[in-house]
A and B are shown apart, each in its own frame.
Chain A
Amino acid sequence: MGLWRTIKTAGWLGWQIEANWAEPFTFIAYAITRPIFSTLILVLMYKVVAGGQISTALFAYIYLGNAFFMYTANVLAGVGIVIHEDRERYEMLKYIYLAPIVTYFYMLGRCIPKLVITTLAVIVTVVMGVWIFDLKLVFGHWPLMILSFPLGIIATIALGIALASLTLLTARHGFFMTEGTAGVFYLVSGAVFPIEVLPDWMEPAALAFPITYWLEALRRGMMAEPVSKIFASWSDEKLLLILAMTTLLSIVLSVLINRGIEYIARKQGKLDQVFNY
């Protein structure tokens, strides 16, 4: 069975599930309104802490990091719920599994609608930053930004599928696991503050994840001056190379986790087990 057809069909299903719960107008409003208000909360918090100043490099660092981290948060939570919904709510997971498809690509397809919707939210957030909060974007390192963007998306999807695979062995804890992991990434990936402010023992964890390098590369591509001291001395090539290597490692780990967990789920009879409904 063609991989592209699997991805396309799963993407179509994902879109029906994501977008079908409301009228398109309401759905788009939700997709835009939610990130706007999340960002406003962050801006207000920053203003309180910084005494009203928002035209600093640190503000841009936080603002952009927060905007692009939406991909990680939404994809992790979104794909994490796929197994739960397919197995428990629709009771169709077993039929997906016994179809002649590579289920890894099925999950990848289910990520696509999340990515599309998140892209809309990210664009709105960045545009709002420029228009309303006078965010200064300087595209001095645009090749880095363009090359790193897809790598980070791929890494995010790979991590999301690894997490979703783990939920095959859990019942309702799947929700907490994906949300919790997104929270850990938010803390350690430098989304809201440079990783050098983390305790020493947390720094290696921050440097192990591709999301850290991805956010740094995107910000470097859009900001005039660097904020993170750790990465300041790194060349664009070095940053891109490390991002590519950690992304590749994430893919390998994700596939291994997916295959291993599927095997255990088959052994334990979890593919069609219904826990909650």
Chain B
Amino acid sequence: MNLAVKTENLKRVFRTKKEAETVALAGVDIEIRPGELFGLLGPNGAGKTTLIKILSTLLLPSSGKAFVDGVDVAAHPEEVRKRINMVSGGEHSGYGILNVRENLWMFSQFYGVPSKLALERIDFMLKKFGLWEFAKTKVGKLSTGMRQKMNIIRGFVPDPKILFLDEPTLGLDVQIAREVRAFIKEWMKEKTDRTLLLTTHYMAEADELCDRVAIIDRGQVLECDTPSALKRKLQQDAIYQLDVDLLTDHLEKFSEIPEVVNFAFEHKHAEEKTVLKIILKDEAGISKVTKLVEHSGSKIRSLSKREPSLEDVFVALVGRGLSENGT
């Protein structure tokens, strides 16, 4: 049986007119099995969307190979398109002059879904996503969140063999995001041969949904395994979270403590505090950490030891948290 997705040393470089180069993918190798819900986890600019664009035939790679259901995406895009669909989150796309039901029906026709079946699926999903009362509302009059829900439905209506969801819950409120995640789980359970590739920078989303997760940063896959296996790798380390008074200077000194494997920080200016997430290979190192906090002129508000999460795995691998934007 073909792998649902396979990439071999996949690279993509963007060149601007001024000859500047941006490496979006720097040799990605992944394998996704049929029936898997696979997560790509990484910060903004990690290369997740570029990878999805290549796999969904919108973009050609600079070098390397990518296969979807055994079909080369660069050589046979028409064959790939019969097997896939894609949804990008955080967009406000849609034909504003059509109503929600018309928009969805139109795309179902492009996918060859018989009209009656398409309308049954559309109506079912509109009810499921709480959009039923807006079925006849023109897309131009919908809120961004509603449009995003409509786009998510558009992805599911043709019942694709392989679905790419690029940050599907980006910008959605908590309740709607929960509904979307519940629907994704349900959809995957309905048929065992469906494959879903989800990109996200929400750790909890990847942890909750994915069978396997690839952690990607700066165009490279750093680790790929099940969420529990990834977390197990950190089980011998001690993970601490410290809330301290806002601490902006000399943060690099925490890395210089010999026991620190990696650490991340997040400034919460509204609360005038900094959250430090520190991974120690030896618990004894925590006293050095607390001393350094005090030495830096800050005060510890709270200190807790935690079980490893995917975010800790990310911090351990990348050396920074997801919210730090490459600092």
Binding site for B on A (CB under 8 A): 1-2, 5-6, 8-9, 12-13, 16-17, 20-21, 90-92, 94-102, 106, 263, 266-267, 269, 271-272
**A-B pair number, CB within 8 angstroms:** 78
Complex CA–CA separation, A263 to B106 (angstroms): 25
Given contacts A9-B110, A12-B106, A13-B106, contact A269 B14 (CB under 8 A): yes
Contact of A97 among B58, B60, B112 (CB under 8 A): B58
Q: At the interface, yes or no: B154 with Cβ under 8 Å from chain A?
A: yes
Select from chain A the residue with minimum beta-carbon distance to B109.
A9
The answer to whether B81 touches A100 (Cβ under 8 A) is yes
Given contacts A92-B93, A269-B59, A272-B58, contact A98 B112 (CB under 8 A): no
Select from chain A the residue with minimum beta-carbon distance to B140.
A90
Whole-angstrom distance from the CB of B253 to the nearest CB of chain A? 41
The answer to whether B110 touches A91 (Cβ under 8 A) is no
Whole-angstrom distance from the CB of B44 to the nearest CB of chain A? 17
Complex CA–CA separation, A101 to B111 (angstroms): 8
Q: At the interface, yes or no: B4 with Cβ under 8 Å from chain A?
A: no
Binding site for A on B (CB under 8 A): 14, 53, 56-60, 77-78, 81-82, 84-86, 91-98, 102, 106-107, 109-112, 154
Select from chain B the residue with minimum beta-carbon distance to A13.
B106
Complex interface: chain B residues within 8 A of A90 (CB): 93-96
The answer to whether A99 touches B111 (Cβ under 8 A) is yes
Whole-angstrom distance from the CB of B65 to the nearest CB of chain A? 16
Whole-angstrom distance from the CB of A247 to the nearest CB of chain B? 26
Contact of A267 among B60, B92, B93, B109 (CB under 8 A): B60
Given contacts A269-B14, A269-B53, contact A99 B110 (CB under 8 A): yes
Given contacts A1-B112, A91-B91, A96-B110, contact A16 B58 (CB under 8 A): no
The answer to whether B58 touches A100 (Cβ under 8 A) is no
The answer to whether A98 touches B81 (Cβ under 8 A) is yes
Given contacts A266-B57, A269-B59, contact A20 B97 (CB under 8 A): yes
Complex CA–CA separation, A263 to B77 (angstroms): 10
Given contacts A16-B97, A90-B96, contact A100 B53 (CB under 8 A): no
Complex interface: chain A residues within 8 A of B78 (CB): 100, 102
Q: A16-B97, A100-B111 are in contact. List 17 more A-B contacts (CB 8 A).
A: A1-B112, A2-B112, A5-B109, A9-B110, A13-B95, A13-B98, A13-B106, A16-B95, A17-B97, A20-B97, A90-B93, A97-B57, A100-B82, A266-B57, A269-B58, A271-B58, A272-B58
